[in-house]
Structure formats: C-alpha cells, structure tokens
Structure 1
Amino acid sequence: MTEFDYIFLAVLGASGILGFMRGFLKEAFSLVAYIAAGYAAAAWGPHALPWFSRMVDNIYISIALSYAVVFIAVLLIIGLINKTLSSVISQIGLGSADSILGLFFGLVRGLIIVLVVVILLGYTDMPQAPWWQNAKFSGVVIEIVHYLKTFVPSDMVKYLPY
C-alpha cells in the first residue's frame, strides 16, 4: 500500500466514524442545512445588500457580508432545529439504527470527498507519481470517476481529467 491508499482509507474511515457518531438523521439534516443556507444566501443575499451597503462603504465587502450573514443565519436556525430533532430521536430510541445508517452516510461522503480530490489532482502530474500508480485503490477510484463521467453532459466531459 502507498500514501494514496493510506489517505483514502483515512478519509473514508474518519468520515464513516463521524457519520456513525452523529447518526444518519443528523448527518442528512446537516447536508440539507448547508444546501438550504446556500439557496437562501443566493435568494435573499441581494435583498440584504442595501442594508449592508449603508453600513459599509466598500461594495465588495457589503456584498460578501449580505450573502455571508444570510447563509450563517439560516445555518444557525436549521442547526437549532437539528439539535432539537436529535434529542427527540434519542428519546424515541432510534439510536443504533440511526448510527449504522450514519456510518453508511459517512462512508459515502468520504468517497465523494476522495473523488472530488482525485478529479482535481487529475489536472496535475500527481497521477503519474509512483505512489499513485502503485496504489491499491487508485485504479478503483479512477474507474468510479470514469463511470460518473457518463452522467456529465458531453460538452463538459472534455474538460474532465481521465
């Protein structure tokens, strides 16, 4: 095994353990929270801009603040809901099933993280390095990337590595 394999297993393991500890519902709700916060920032950030532009002279800082404050506010509100929901779930007794599903969620998240990093590193010379070429898992990960490319629009595929 090479450095690639150890990093691959560490990312998968850490994400899986985190998912197990937090549980599926908390992990899934966190994902929904980030997506909702991003959507809210895109939708409501421009509406907050006039308020921030009165307080800050630099327009770029005002824009950044308007989007960031909306994003963080929505994330905090959903986080409070998530915390309440988690305590209700623990009282219901879904603990072990929730943890096992959280483990699988974490493993999938870890694989997605690895895939994104491998795709980004595909634009560099790293895939030609011996520690990458001789890795046990690099071929499997690249095969998954090839499979996922079949879902990418054909005009974008030419820009992807591998």
Structure 2
Amino acid sequence: MTDTITDAIKGTPVALFGLAGWSGSGKTTLAEQLITEWTARGLDVATIKHAHHEFEADTPGKDSWRHREAGAHQVLVSSAIRSAHFVEHKTTEPELGQLLNRLLPCDLVLIEGFKREAVPKMEVFRAEVGKPHLYTADNQIIAVASDSAVTDCPLPVLDLNDIPTIADFVLQVVGLSSR
C-alpha cells in the first residue's frame, strides 16, 4: 500500500473503504444503496470502480467519443452541471493511488473491485453465485455482507439487505460520522 492510498487525495485526508466479491454477488447494488444512504446523511462520497474489460462510458458518435477515436489520449468533457475525464491507458493500468490523486477532495471513497489493494473492505457474498469466500485469502477483508447465513466465519457477518447497519459499520471502521 502506498502513502498516496493511505494518506490523501491531493493532500486532503480521506477515508477509503472497498467492496469485493465475485461477479454477480451484488457489489454494484450494494454500492448504490450505500452511496444513497451516506449522501442522505450529508457525506460527500466518491467512487472508483475497477473494470476487467474494455468498456465505453460515452456514446459512439458523440464528440467525446469522436475525439478519443481520433487519437486523443485524454478527453475532458464539461458542462455547467457535470464533467467527465476520459483517459486512454496505452501501456499499463493505473494503480489505485494514481486514480485517487485524480479525485477532488471528499469525505469517503468507496472502491468497488481492486481486490488486491491494501484497503479495508467488505466481501459481498451470495451463495447462489457458487464461488468460494474471498475473506479466507484476503486479510484486508474485515467483514462479510450476505443475504444468507455464513457459518464458521471469524469476521462480522452483516445482512446484505440492512443498508443502514452496513453504512454505520463502514463509517465506524473508517472513523467517520454522519453530518
């Protein structure tokens, strides 16, 4: 883990917490629900999501897409209400610390994916996915959220459908409180 990850986003201390789990386990749904819960409590939340495949975030045919297709390495699109920064990674995937440095200051960064990064994280587990637990091989996983009973787990197991309790747990772990 680098100092960038543990200490700051552009010099501002920030709380980091991750969600890890197999595809189909419900990480994105849980992330959406937690973001809604925390922002309703007055927290400024940013997210970083890891993708394992090529993806398109802007629409083919639109200006930003056309700029990238023409060869622009970076495209920043901005309006009065939103901006997006697209960066083409020609050589290697950026490290989490580099991505964190691109964020504006915030209260909490929720990281979805990046299973191997040394940040505290919660495993999202659904038995029906048919995959083994991740916590057994990752000492950064400090709790499990599941929609069914998890036996013989030495970590706290939280009900995947109890969003306020999960939100409280994460805030306690990262040392934040609601506003």
For Structure 1 versus Structure 2, the TM-score category normalised by the shorter chain is under 0.3
With the length of structure 2 as denominator, give the TM-score of the two structures: 0.25
Q: Greater RCO between the two (CA within 8 Å, min separation 6)? A: 1
More helix by share: 1
TM norm structure 1: 0.27
Kindly indicate which of the two structures has a greater share of residues assigned to strand.
2
